[in-house]
Amino acid sequence: MDNMAILESLKESFGLDPKTSKVLVVGLGHTGVSVAHYLHKLDFKFAITDSRDKPPLKEAFFQVLPDTPIFTGGFDESAFKVATHIIVSPGVSLMEESIVQAIADGVKVVSDIDLLACSITAPIIAITGSNGKSTVTTMVGEMAKLAGKKIAVGGNLGTPALDLLTEDAELFVLELSSFQLERTSALNAAAASVLNVSADHLDRHDDLETYAKEKQRTFRGDGVLVINLDDPLVRSMSEHGRSCLTFSIKHTEADFYIGTLEDQEYLMHGKHALMLLAELPLEGRHNAANALAALALGMAVGLDKEAMCTALKLFKGLDHRMQKVAKIRGVTWVNDSKATNIGACAAALEGYDTKVILIAGGDAKGADMNELAPLIKDKTKSVVLIGKDADLIKQAINESVPTYYARNMEEAVKICAELAEGGDSVLLSPACASLDQYKSYQDRGNQFSKAVLRLMA
């Protein structure tokens, strides 16, 4: 779309007009920076506010757009009072007092995903869920690439949505978080999936029901719904009259499922075997579910079946997601630091046939760790706890398995090395966010990997 067409779409959808609108960008992170560049390109009047005294990206941003008004060290009420529209970054809660008041005063909330949707004619595949969304997004991107499509992959994963506009893509594949979705209203994806819903981000969402409703916003519009039949909350999201494809690792009545032919398991579409399950190079049944979801999404937009299956056979997985670090003296060490909630940890544990030694803990984000307790009892030999909410997990386990505390990752790995015997697996799958001790889940995973590799020395 050219700029004139984009401006017409923005005006029709949100009343956004460069001549009359005053836009306040809330948050100067990667999303906020991408929004600012987008607004500048379209000649909008805008300012930026950030609660931090020194946002890390501020200096680099000033090098490019030095005349931009920026208010830091708290949300400036005067900036909100003159705004006609606010674009709130996902990292900022809509419950902030200044934002609540602005909405009450009639200021319109727009998201970067809304801006993207108003700026393209190419189809969007939208993917959300408590767990697996990064894996499925990457799978679909690889499938589309092998099928010969010019693609743009990003959103919550990697590249901010608006930065994808430079790629002149035929297909956009977006990973979307609940924080992005709760402030998005213009998305109409050609195909969309809520992969699963489990307790996560309950420090920002009131309860599981509210969280699920935010996820369901992915399905707005008239595109194809891709539904996980194994998740009751997702199953209830199907809509009468909408095109729908289903996937399941438990039910053979799904459109995409695991079937057995001549004593071998296959990824199936209806009566057609697509590929051997054993050809999928990722461990765990949860990754089979991810593959089925990716196949359904690709099928919904007409991707070639053979190309999709080839992409799955070549797919090596994501860093910090069930990533094998090393095998030392018969003990396998696995980095699943991206398991930042209960559901992700549960999926990792369920993928094992034998009991593991688990490293868990961090910031539980308000989740009820009692939900994880039965699986820990069933799937672990012992648990080593780290981080600020270690005691919550300890209480939930209630002495059903031996439990140890570690002050940091180095100490956790040393304890696990003493506990482990040949044939064991040590799994870092924290079930918690990382920011109580680390810069990110990537940093946490890297610290684990470094500590493991030091064992080899």
What is the 3-class SS of 283-336, one letter each residue? CCHHHHHHHHHHHHHHHHCCCCHHHHHHHHHHCCCCCCCCEEEEEECCEEEEEC
What per-residue confidence (pLDDT) applies to 205? 44
Question: Over the stretch 387-396, which tens digit does the pLDDT of each residue have?
Answer: 999 999 999 9
pLDDT at 167 over 80: no
CATH code, residues 323-456: 3.90.190.20
Q: Which residues are tagged catalytic?
A: 133, 156, 201
Nearest to 454 by CA among 425, 411, 419, 423: 411
Q: Name the residue ranges covered by the structural domains of the chain.
A: 3-110, 115-314, 323-456
* Helix, strand, coil distribution of the chain in percent, nearest 5: 40, 20, 40
Over range 8-25, report the average pLDDT.
97
pLDDT at position 266 over 80: yes
CA distance 395 to 271: 48
Least confident of 251-255, 283-287, 327-331: 283-287
pLDDT higher than 80, residue 114: yes
pLDDT at residue number 204: 52
Task: Provide the pLDDT for residue 190.
Answer: 98
pLDDT for 313 equals 97
Mean pLDDT value of segment 18-42: 97
CATH architecture of 3-110: 3-Layer(aba) Sandwich (3.40)
**pLDDT computed for residue 200 by the predictor:** 52
Domain range 115-314, CATH architecture: 3-Layer(aba) Sandwich (3.40)
Overall average pLDDT of the 363-380 stretch: 92
Predicted local confidence at residue 203, as pLDDT: 52
pLDDT at site 98: 93
Q: What is the pTM of this model?
A: 0.82
